[in-house]
């Protein structure tokens, strides 16, 4: 069963795609809209699970993720598990990405909004030119070992 897309979301996706010189195909609109609605970075598999039932094949989803990444609308991040995750790039910030948290037990990924990358003075004092990714690993609240507490 195909779900009818939100007309306003479709029009916004078309405008975003046109602004970067990409054609607004149904598949591209669907991938962009799915990422815009996501609350965490999405894997190709997660997006395929959502979009294949709507009539898009996995290869089409992947090609569109690549196109959106190349157009700098989407960030692609690998968090140490050899799985790419995709999320909408925030045009308000520079090219460096925000930090992510990964639970070492269940693998859930969370964006750590509000935590900023060190400013240039701090980076240079630690001999760091450019930060490309900050990854925090630990236990989420569900997986936190509670034995002995």
**Residue 84 and residue 99 in one domain:** no
Same-domain check for residues 1 and 49:
yes
Residues 33 and 65 in one domain: yes
Question: Do 45 and 101 reside in the same domain of the chain?
Answer: no
Q: Give per-residue pLDDT as tens, 115-127.
A: 776 666 777 777 7
**Residue from 18, 54, 19 nearest 34 by CA:** 54
What are 97's two structure tokens? 């990405």
Q: Find the CATH number of the domain harbouring 108.
A: 3.30.1490
The pLDDT of 73-102, averaged and rounded, is: 79
Residue 29 exposed, middle or buried by CB count within 10 Å (0-12, 13-18, 19+): buried
Question: Which domain, by its residues, includes 127?
Answer: 93-149
pLDDT in tens, 14-70: 999 999 999 999 999 999 999 999 988 899 999 999 999 999 999 999 999 999 999
pTM listed for this prediction: 0.72
Same domain, 112 and 86: no
Alpha-carbon distances, residue 30 vs 6, 18, 149 (angstroms):
11, 15, 46
């Amino acid at each position: 069963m195909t779900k009818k897309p939100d007309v306003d979301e479709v029009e916004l996706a078309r405008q975003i795609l046109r602004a970067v010189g990409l054609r607004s195909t149904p598949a591209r609109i669907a991938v962009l809209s799915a990422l815009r609605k996501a609350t965490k970075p999405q894997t190709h598999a997660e997006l395929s699970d959502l979009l294949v039932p709507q009539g898009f094949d996995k290869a089409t989803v992947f090609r569109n993720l690549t196109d959106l990444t190349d157009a700098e609308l989407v960030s692609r991040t690998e968090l140490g598990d050899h799985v790419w995750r995709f999320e909408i790039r925030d045009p308000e910030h520079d090219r460096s990405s925000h930090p992510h948290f990964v639970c070492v037990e269940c693998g859930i990924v969370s964006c750590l909004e509000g935590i900023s990358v060190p400013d240039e003075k701090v980076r240079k004092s630690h001999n760091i030119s450019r930060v490309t990714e900050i990854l925090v690993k630990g236990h989420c609240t569900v997986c936190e070992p509670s034995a002995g507490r």
